[in-house]
């Protein structure tokens, strides 16, 4: 007999509408609570931990292995990836023949990490490869025929594209015409038509049955290199025996976190073991960036995603796109410090540009849509914006207005490069592809949560109307039903470092394995104040007198921030994530506030 399911779960702590307009509900239904209880009883785990696991789809029997992910247990045979054996054989041949290899990568963190990983592998076998990263503005994403011909003219006998190339038919045809072999290692969605190449390793190609479509490009490259090393050992290459690929998992973890791929299966092992490698500071480039950020504790996914990633990306957004990959290949600390300083400067410049652009974008939203609530999708544009930053602006607008949002930078010719970010439940990529088919865009594509587009200025009005007509059928109901899923309730006295360490064992958290959110019921706001330019710091106190420090990032001008600042001495229900704040060699607990409601 199946248990009845309540179609409308009760509001957690009775919060029907928080200050940010969300309804709080328990992440677990009755079946999930039963699974969490069984997990606790069978494995002797704390129930709060099993609630977190059950809420993320972990089964009772899967819990022990989930809490201890290993490369050995989660890695598939690389040859199950279509064309992986062909790619590995071609790379092994290039090493044996000491051919000149060119690596063509993407300009984001995944591309930089994947390029550096392959470069370091080849260097171990005495092959000095050249890395080519295209300019985001002048060349755009992926291989282009002029760059391919330039690499071949420079002596490249094998070109390996990483994090790109799956749909680069024209560019790979140019390589074929020059009789240069190409191996593609990628992870992006693609159609049935394959470009001309020796091998195309992409777990998202339609004839791949490996089940590894969740990997980022660096994760796929790692599998290809495992296969190549195996072939070289079989061929008797003595250098294969001294190869330690696991020490380079810091690069794979960096790419996996920054590319926001689902943290499931092999990706969890990549990140868990990659964090251990990163903490050894064996990569001089990463170590230099960590020094620049003033790292005060052990490396975590937060450090990779929010401190290291933006700095590497800054080169691709507004500077030299090759800086990131170059940095990650270095073993010389002074050289690494020099490039890390340049990336740090570029990141500060990017932050300043982003602040100006965001203010202009928010002003345009007010002028075009009022408070934003009348629109189902927001489209902003400017002649003065930097095209490398529009994706960040779209993400900020989506966060603030809780709607799909686009930001478009027009050049002097009237052609705009835009980027969009969506909300859960609305397929932005499908909408953009529909606009291409309708003749409103020069080109465009993406996936459910993000998309890119190119549009002529005289089509902007029609594009806005088209997007609004499509989004109006879904977005209002998605916004109206916005809920915050709570993993459990916790008092300040229960927010201990011991609990935090247990929660970390159930991590790493990220895409597809979300950070646990806890409700802190009816705590008094002892103090609240604005720090920096927009963060709100608060001290919470439970009825037993226990205090907990808390912070709401970028909340100063939001309804959440205003409630915190105006509620000193009052009780609030708060919702957020636990973190360990490292300060002067010690750790203390902190709540990262995501939402709040008045305690009635």
> Which tens digit of pLDDT belongs to each residue from 149-162?
999 999 999 999 99
Spatial neighbors of 366 by CB under 8 A, at least 6 apart, are: 372
Task: Please give the mean pLDDT across all residues of the chain.
Answer: 93
pLDDT band per the 50, 70, 90 thresholds, residue 1: very low
User: In the chain, what are the domain boundaries?
Assistant: 12-28+487-598, 74-344, 370-479
Is 233 strand, coil or helix?
Answer: helix
pLDDT at 228 over 50: yes
pLDDT at 135 over 80: yes
- Sign for the CA dihedral angle at 59, 210, 168, 139 comes to positive
Residue 449: predicted pLDDT: 84
- pLDDT, mean of residues 372-383: 90
- pLDDT, mean of residues 445-456: 86
- pLDDT, mean of residues 494-516: 91
- pLDDT, mean of residues 375-402: 94
pLDDT band per the 50, 70, 90 thresholds, residue 349: very high
pLDDT band per the 50, 70, 90 thresholds, residue 5: very low
Which stretches of 98-154 are DSSP H helices?
109-124, 145-153
pLDDT band per the 50, 70, 90 thresholds, residue 4: very low
Distances (CA, A) of 193 to 90, 166, 265, 289, 529: 22, 9, 29, 40, 57
Residue 124: predicted pLDDT: 97
pLDDT at 299 over 60: yes
- Sign for the CA dihedral angle at 556, 557, 561, 562 comes to positive
Contact in structure between 490 and 520 (CB atoms under 8 Å): yes
* Fold adopted by 370-479: Diaminopimelate Epimerase; Chain A, domain 1 (3.10.310)
pLDDT at 409 over 50: yes
Among 3.40.50.300, 3.90.1640.30, 3.30.750.210, 3.40.640.10, name the CATH number for the domain at 74-344: 3.90.1640.30
Spatial neighbors of 124 by CB under 8 A, at least 6 apart, are: 239, 242, 243
CA distance 153 to 130: 13
Number of alpha carbons in the 13 Å side-chain half-sphere of residue 525:
26
pLDDT band per the 50, 70, 90 thresholds, residue 584: low
Question: For 12-28+487-598, CATH number?
Answer: 2.40.50.140
Quick one: what percent of the chain has pLDDT higher than 70? Answer: 98
Residue 510: predicted pLDDT: 87
Contact in structure between 536 and 551 (CB atoms under 8 Å): yes
Residue 557: predicted pLDDT: 86
- pLDDT, mean of residues 356-379: 90
pLDDT band per the 50, 70, 90 thresholds, residue 24: very high
pLDDT at 472 over 60: yes
Interstrand relation of 547-552 and 586-598 (parallel, antiparallel or unpaired): parallel
Tokens 């927001």 appear where?
378
pLDDT band per the 50, 70, 90 thresholds, residue 132: very high
User: Which own/partner contact pairs does 465-468 have at CB distance under 8 Å and 24+ positions apart?
Assistant: 466/435, 466/438, 466/440, 467/377, 467/379, 467/406, 467/431, 467/435, 468/375, 468/376, 468/377
Distances (CA, A) of 537 to 96, 555, 564: 59, 10, 9
Q: Which of 240, 222, 247 is nearest to 118 (CA)?
A: 222
Interstrand relation of 518-531 and 571-583 (parallel, antiparallel or unpaired): antiparallel
* pLDDT tens by residue, 259-277: 888 899 999 999 999 999 9
Per mean pLDDT, which range of 69-73, 508-512, 522-526 is the poorest? 508-512
Residue positions counted in the chain: 600
- pLDDT, mean of residues 178-195: 93
Tokens 């594209």 appear where?
161
- pLDDT, mean of residues 502-514: 90
The crossing angle, in degrees rounded to 10, of helices 460-471 and 428-437 is 130
Structural tokens at position 498: 């011991």
Q: What is the pTM of this model?
A: 0.90
- pLDDT, mean of residues 44-68: 93
**What are the residues facing 464 on neighbouring strands?**
none
pLDDT at 2 over 50: no
Distances (CA, A) of 154 to 5, 97, 102, 259: 66, 18, 9, 31
Distances (CA, A) of 200 to 110, 163, 164, 167: 18, 11, 11, 10
pLDDT at 8 over 70: no
Q: Which of 253, 191, 269 is nearest to 216 (CA)?
A: 253
């Amino acid at each position: 007999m199946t248990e009845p399911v309540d179609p409308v779960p009760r509001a957690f702590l009775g919060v029907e509408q928080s200050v940010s307009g969300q309804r709080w509900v328990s992440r677990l239904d009755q079946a999930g609570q039963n699974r969490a209880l069984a997990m606790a009883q069978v494995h002797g785990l704390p129930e709060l931990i099993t609630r977190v696991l059950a809420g993320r789809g972990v089964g009772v029997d899967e819990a022990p292995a989930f809490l201890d992910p290993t490369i050995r247990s989660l890695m598939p045979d690389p040859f199950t990836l279509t064309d992986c054996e062909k790619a590995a054989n071609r790379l092994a041949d290039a090493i044996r023949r000491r051919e000149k290899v060119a690596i063509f990568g993407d300009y984001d963190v995944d591309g930089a990490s994947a390029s550096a990983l392959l470069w370091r592998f080849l260097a171990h076998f005495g092959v000095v490869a050249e890395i080519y990263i295209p300019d985001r503005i002048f060349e755009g994403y992926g291989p282009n025929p002029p760059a391919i011909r330039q690499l071949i003219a420079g002596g490249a006998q094998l070109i390996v594209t990483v994090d790109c190339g799956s749909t680069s038919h024209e560019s790979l045809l140019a390589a074929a015409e020059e009789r240069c072999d190409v191996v593609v290692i990628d992870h992006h969605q693609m159609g049935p038509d394959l470009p001309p190449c020796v091998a195309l390793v992409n777990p998202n190609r339609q004839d791949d049955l490996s089940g590894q479509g969740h990997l980022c490009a660096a994760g796929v490259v790692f599998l290809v290199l495992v296969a190549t090393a195996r072939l070289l050992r079989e061929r008797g290459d003595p250098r294969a025996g001294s190869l330690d690929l696991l020490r380079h998992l810091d690069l794979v973890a960096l790419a996996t976190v920054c590319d926001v791929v689902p943290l499931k299966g092999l990706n969890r092992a990549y990140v868990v073991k990659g964090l251990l490698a990163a903490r050894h500071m064996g990569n001089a480039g990463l170590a230099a960036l960590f020094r620049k950020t003033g790292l005060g504790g052990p490396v975590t996914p937060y450090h990779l995603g929010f401190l290291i990633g933006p700095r590497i990306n800054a080169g691709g957004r507004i500077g030299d796109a090759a800086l990131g990959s170059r940095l990650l290949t270095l073993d010389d600390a002074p050289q690494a410090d020099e490039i890390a300083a340049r990336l740090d400067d570029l990141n500060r410049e990017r932050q300043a540009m982003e602040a100006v652009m965001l203010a202009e974008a928010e002003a345009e939203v007010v002028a075009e849509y009022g408070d934003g609530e009348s629109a189902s999708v927001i489209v902003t544009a400017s002649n003065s914006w930097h095209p490398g930053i529009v994706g960040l602006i779209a993400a900020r607008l989506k966060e603030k207005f809780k709607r799909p949002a686009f930001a478009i930078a027009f050049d002097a010719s009237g052609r705009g490069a835009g980027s969009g970010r969506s909300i859960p439940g609305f397929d932005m990529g499908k909408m953009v592809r529909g606009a291409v088919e309708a003749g409103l865009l020069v080109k465009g594509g993406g996936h459910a949560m993000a998309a890119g587009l190119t549009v002529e200025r005289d089509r902007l009005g029609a594009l806005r109307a088209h997007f609004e007509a499509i989004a109006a059928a879904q977005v209002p109901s998605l916004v109206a039903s916005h809920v915050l899923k709570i993993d459990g309730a916790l008092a300040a006295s229960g927010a201990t470092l011991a609990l935090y360490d247990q929660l970390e064992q159930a991590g790493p958290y990220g895409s597809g394995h979300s950070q646990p959110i806890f409700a802190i019921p009816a705590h008094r706001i002892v103090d609240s104040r604005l720090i920096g330019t927009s963060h709100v710091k608060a001290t919470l106190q439970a009825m037993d007198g226990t205090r907990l420090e808390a912070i709401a990032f970028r909340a100063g001008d939001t309804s959440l921030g205003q409630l915190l600042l105006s509620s000193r001495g009052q009780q609030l229900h708060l919702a957020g994530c636990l973190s360990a704040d490292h300060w002067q060699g010690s750790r203390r607990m902190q709540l990262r506030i995501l939402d709040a409601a008045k305690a009635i």
